[in-house]
């Protein structure tokens, strides 16, 4: 299996499955590009993992994974990073035999909406049929751990990232300022800062859950205090790097920046963000239809991204599928643990991948600046 690493200078490499063989099954991440001398503690990682862990509340999977992490490499005897790769491991603790047997019962019948069919074509009968393996949402544990390291480094640059539920099943959060969103961040189970909309969303998801079905939604990501000049103008545009990071998450089916698809119905005079000079001589923009990215570079405004999250594909409603062993159609109504909606936890994964993309782009930009030796009058604008 290829493609388990993301990044160029700041790099995360993950491994592990939803259900591994034996008592020691786990998920892990190796993080390259961590500076030396950082007081990176287990709590820093754990705080992020707690955002996505299952087993609590009505809106996520009942799987009782505690997602407790251990840093097993990259921290020296003085308790700080040494500059070596940081290794983090999270053990699976709720891989009960009853759940494995549930998956075994329909291992040859592909669950609609899941990746089992292309996995079968790619890896044959050896593909991991138990809990979807690397295609499971559980795979994202390693991403969140790696992203926690990226967030920790970005804090030194005063760069903040927040993800939240913007819309769920037609119920939309009102437009809010950064300060308002930050104030109400994680104030409810669905993580919507518009508290009235959150109540309606949660009620709707529970109604859908009672029907045996699942709900999709929209998550908005905001990156605050991003310096201008991150990204490259052609293949490595900042928005392209971010899209690569975000769209690598299994449940993401769409992405837009700033005004997004609305630009298709705008005039140029409506879409263009007009610049102005601040009192301290900085360039800013009166609007942010570009979503903080112009010509592939960050422009100093907040990076604003919205992502479409598909409904959890496992549902309790009978559907038609294919039995690959018998090569014929069969009905399937799987029994397994699942989230009634993914938006209540996936924002943590999206934040992690955004952090990795932004930090990697920051490394690239700083490396280029150190060699380009531009006139300081231009560097002072950043």
Contacts of 143 (CB under 8 A, 6+ apart): 12, 14, 29, 249, 349, 352, 353, 356
Closest CA to 40 of 181, 153, 138: 153
Give me the mean pLDDT over the 279-298 stretch. Answer: 95
Alpha carbon 305 to chain centroid, angstroms: 12
CA-angle at 1, arms to 314 and 51, nearest 5°: 50
**Residue 35's closest CA among 160, 145, 149, 148?**
149
Indicate whether 157 pLDDT > 80: yes
Per-residue pLDDT at 205 exceeds 80: yes
Delimit the domains of the chain by residue range.
5-379
Confidence of residue 142 (pLDDT cuts 50, 70, 90): very high
Measured CA to CA, the distance from residue 119 to residue 139 in angstroms comes to 15
CB 306 within 8 A of CB 167: no
CA–CA distance, 225 with 178 (Å, rounded to integer): 11
Q: How far apart are CA 309 and CA 31, in angstroms?
A: 27
Q: Six-digit token pair at 180?
A: 């308002």
Q: Where are the beta strands (DSSP E) in the chain?
A: 5-6, 11-16, 26-32, 69-73, 86-91, 160-168, 171-172, 217-224, 252-257, 275-277, 283-285, 293-294, 297-298, 303-309, 319-323, 328-332
Q: Compute the distance between CA of residue 357 and CA of residue 231 in angstroms, rounded to an integer.
A: 10
Is 90 exceeded by the pLDDT of residue 92?
A: no
Residue 23 pLDDT: 65
Domain 5-379: assigned CATH number? 3.60.150.10
Residues 6+ apart with CB under 8 A from 170: none
Question: Residue 55 — very low, low, confident or very high, per pLDDT cuts 50/70/90?
Answer: low
3-state class percentages of the chain: helix first, strand second, coil last, to nearest 5: 35, 20, 45
Q: What is the pLDDT of residue 379?
A: 62
How far apart are alpha carbons 226 and 149 in whole angstroms?
Answer: 18
pLDDT digits (tens, 9 = 90+) for 319-331: 999 888 888 998 8
The pLDDT of residue 207 is: 96
Q: Per DSSP, which regions of 195-296 are E strands? A: 217-224, 252-257, 275-277, 283-285, 293-294
- Please give the structure tokens belonging to residue 289: 């239809």
Interval 297-315: pLDDT, tens: 999 999 999 999 999 998 9
* Separation between Cα atoms, residue 184 and residue 186, nearest integer Å: 6
Reported as a single tens digit per residue, the pLDDT across 362-376 is 999 999 888 887 777
User: What is the rounded average pLDDT of the residues 272-293?
Assistant: 95
Tokens of 129: 């049929």
CA distance 211 to 229: 49
């Amino acid at each position: 299996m290829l493609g388990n690493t993301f990044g160029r200078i700041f790099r995360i490499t993950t491994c592990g499955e939803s259900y591994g063989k034996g008592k020691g099954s786990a998920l892990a991440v190796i993080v390259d590009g961590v500076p030396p001398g950082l007081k990176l503690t287990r709590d820093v990682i754990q705080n992020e993992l707690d955002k996505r862990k299952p087993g609590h509340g009505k809106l996520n999977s009942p799987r009782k994974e505690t997602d407790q992490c251990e840093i097993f490499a990259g921290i020296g005897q003085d308790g700080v990073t040494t500059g070596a790769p940081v290794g983090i491991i999270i053990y699976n603790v709720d891989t009960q035999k009853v759940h494995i047997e549930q998956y075994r019962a329909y291992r040859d019948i592909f669950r609609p909406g899941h990746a089992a069919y292309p996995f079968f074509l790619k890896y044959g009968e050896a593909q991991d049929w138990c809990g979807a393996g690397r295609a499971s949402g559980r795979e994202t544990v390693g991403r969140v751990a790696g992203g926690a390291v990226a967030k920790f480094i970005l804090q030194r640059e005063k760069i903040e990232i927040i993800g939240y539920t913007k819309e769920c099943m037609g119920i939309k959060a009102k437009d809010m300022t950064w300060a308002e969103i930050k104030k109400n961040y994680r104030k409810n189970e669905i993580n919507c800062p518009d508290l009235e909309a959150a109540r309606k969303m949660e009620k709707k998801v529970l109604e859908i859950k009672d029907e045996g079905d699942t709900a999709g939604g929209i998550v908005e990501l905001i990156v605050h205090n991003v310096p201008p000049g991150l990204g490259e103008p052609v293949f490595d545009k900042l928005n392209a790097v971010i899209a690569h990071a975000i769209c690598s998450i299994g449940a993401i089916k769409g992405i837009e920046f700033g005004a997004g698809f609305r630009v298709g119905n705008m005039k140029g005079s409506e879409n263009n963000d007009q610049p102005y000079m601040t009192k301290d001589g900085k360039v800013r923009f009166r609007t942010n239809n570009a979503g903080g990215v112009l010509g592939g570079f960050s422009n100093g405004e907040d990076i604003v991204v919205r992502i479409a999250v598909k409904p959890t594909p496992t549902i309790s409603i009978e559907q038609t599928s294919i039995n690959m062993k018998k090569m014929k159609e069969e009905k399937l109504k799987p029994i397994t643990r699942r989230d009634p909606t993914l938006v209540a936890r996936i924002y943590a994964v999206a934040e992690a991948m955004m952090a990795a993309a932004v930090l990697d782009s920051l490394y690239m930009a700083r490396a280029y600046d150190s060699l380009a030796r531009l006139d300081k009058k231009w560097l002072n604008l950043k």
